[in-house]
Amino acid sequence: MSHANLDEVKSYLLNLQDRLCQGLAAEDGGADFREETWQREAGGGGRSRVIERGRVFEKGGVNFSHVHGDRLPPSATAARPQLAGRGFHAVGVSWVLHPENPHVPTSHGNVRFFIAEKEGEPPVWWFGGGFDLTPYYPVHEDVLHWHRVARDACAPFGCEVYPRFKGWCDEYFYLRHRDETRGVGGLFFDDFNEWDFEASFAFQRAVGDAFLEAYLPIVRRRRDTPWGEREREFQLYRRGRYVEFNLVWDRGTLFGLQSGGRTESILMSMPPLARWEYGWTPEPGSAEEVLYREYLRPRDWLGDSAD
């Protein structure tokens, strides 16, 4: 694996960051992304972009990073212990959007590429990424749209790809200590090098390029839905679950912290406000109860809809 491949992926990711920021800022219409560049003392750096207090997005970020070093962090070798001790390059773009209106879902995505190197041995490479949706007041047609776009992005690579990575997403974004999914899922893949480089890279591009098509129509449909204190309080309560997942279970957060990345950029994924309440349960028959009963569990959305 030559570094020409790394450069090719890096070029795509920088362009993807630009396109995501342009599309999201245009949809917001009231704020733009501000940019900070940073350097990692042990090697590499990144380009962080954050939007705040917009018409749609209370907070959001789209971050690019390229870090490298002499030894892979433990989170990167958990599934590949044979790679422990290798030098590495890790390049990726990650994004998180926290809208102000509780009827607009939070969303997250990332695409990344690793090369692990050891003198005298061929380099080992793999891709990872995906996107997922976390609604507070879900609308069934929005969830179907989200999964249709995910399915269509996977379709050129085989009919088994969407159900496989949809299922992986359900398993990964699962709060085991709460016995609930973080949201309604999407796609997730990691440690992926089953295909050759060109096919694997094409799949990563298909996932990254599909995000705006999946997310922006939902934003447009829900951004002007009226809301009040009740909806806001529930949104902040459910944001607490988002924080719990990122700090307890998320491999990307652990990798960033273990690799000495920029903490401010790593924790960009956190919402600006969240709340916790002891022993809270939704009122029977309420919209909040519908979320718990029908949406916070793995489900074959497109199969259920006969799509």
* Catalytic sites, residue numbers: 108
The reply to whether 66 sits in an annotated binding site is no
**Cα–Cα separations (whole angstroms), residue 55 to 23, 97, 292:** 14, 13, 28
Burial of 30 from C-beta contacts in 10 A (0-12 / 13-18 / 19+): exposed
The reply to whether 98 sits in an annotated binding site is yes
As a whole number of angstroms, the distance between CA 44 and CA 38 comes to 9
The reply to whether 200 sits in an annotated binding site is no
As a whole number of angstroms, the distance between CA 232 and CA 227 comes to 7
Q: If you count DSSP H runs as helices and E runs as strands, how many of each does the chain have, helices first?
A: 10, 9
The reply to whether 111 sits in an annotated binding site is yes
The reply to whether 149 sits in an annotated binding site is no
The residue assigned the tokens 């718990």 is 292
The reply to whether 68 sits in an annotated binding site is no
Helix/strand/coil for 273: coil
Of 232, 160, 243, nearest to 203 by C-alpha is 160
The reply to whether 3 sits in an annotated binding site is no
The reply to whether 89 sits in an annotated binding site is no
The reply to whether 104 sits in an annotated binding site is no
The reply to whether 147 sits in an annotated binding site is yes
Q: Residues with Cβ < 8 Å from 66, sequence gap 6 or more?
A: 10, 44, 45, 46, 89, 90, 91
The reply to whether 112 sits in an annotated binding site is yes
- Known binding positions for a divalent metal cation: 98, 108, 147, 177
- Known binding positions: 94, 98, 108, 110-112, 147, 177, 260-262
- Known binding positions for substrate: 94, 110-112, 260-262
